[in-house]
Structure 1
């Protein structure tokens, strides 16, 4: 007989998730703020970053990963992630059809959004 790990289901509003992430950026809290479908990806990435940090004696990969996943959790909670992905799909279709796509460089937009959220990105 095998048992699945128990994870209590706590329904939180997007505002509660954002507030939680503002106050606690620990791996455990970031993981709890992610939708269940993303937690396996987080676990895999976190384990890889920890292994790299152990090998190189450098926590930078772990800190970078936590900043990334904190940003993803916040965007998914507020619905911004879906908006960004939909916009990206529209732009990709325009590019593939040969249309001119006017806009700002992606790095600039991401840096601006990250700064607004208080997240440091190395682009």
Structure 2
């Protein structure tokens, strides 16, 4: 799918978007696979990361940023993002009401998921 128009990918099915993301992790494709309402945020973050990379001569933060946005694009395409937000709201409501919320510490879960994606997080 890497050779197809990026506009087609953005309007594609969740499966097409995920296939595109799996085959092409370029900034242009990640941006095209994001919902329109996220593209300006991606642009801002990417430009800021590239400016920093130019000053520091270090592409590590750019790679981390692209991994983050790749994951967001994939989650939003599949509906997983909304499910995560809904679960977060449910847990937050339980915490605020004084309910015991079993589970692992968030830092541990985030570190594990980041490692699976090859993303370095400073927690």
* Interval of TM-score (by shorter of Structure 1 and Structure 2): 0.7 to 0.9
Once the 2 structures are TM-superposed, how far is the Cα of residue 99 of structure 1 from its aligned partner? 1.3
Aligned match of 1:121:
119
Match of 1:3 in 2: none
The equivalent of 2:90 in structure 1 is: 90
Q: Secondary structure at the match of 1:12?
A: coil
Q: Distance in 2 between matches of 1:114 and 1:21?
A: 19
Shift of 1:113: 7.7
Verify the 8 A CA contact 2:7 2:32 in the aligned structure 1: no
Which structure 1 residue ranges, 4+ long, deviate > 3 Å from structure 2? 107-110
1:98 CA drift (Å): 1.6
Cα displacement (A) at 1:106: 2.5
d(CA) in 1 for partners of 2:41, 2:27: 13
5 Å matches for 1:7-86?
9-10=7-8, 11-86=11-86
Answer 1 or 2: which has greater helix percent.
2
Distance 1:104 1:83 in 2: 18
Q: Say which SS state the counterpart of residue 64 (structure 2) adopts.
A: helix
How far did residue 112 of structure 1 move?
4.0
Deviation at 1:89, TM superposition (A): 0.8
Deviations 1:72-104 (A, max 9, x none): 000000000000000001111111122110112
Once the two structures are TM-superposed, the CA of residue 108 in structure 1 deviates from its matched residue by: 3.9
Q: TM-score, normalised by structure 2?
A: 0.84
Q: TM-score when scaled to structure 1?
A: 0.84
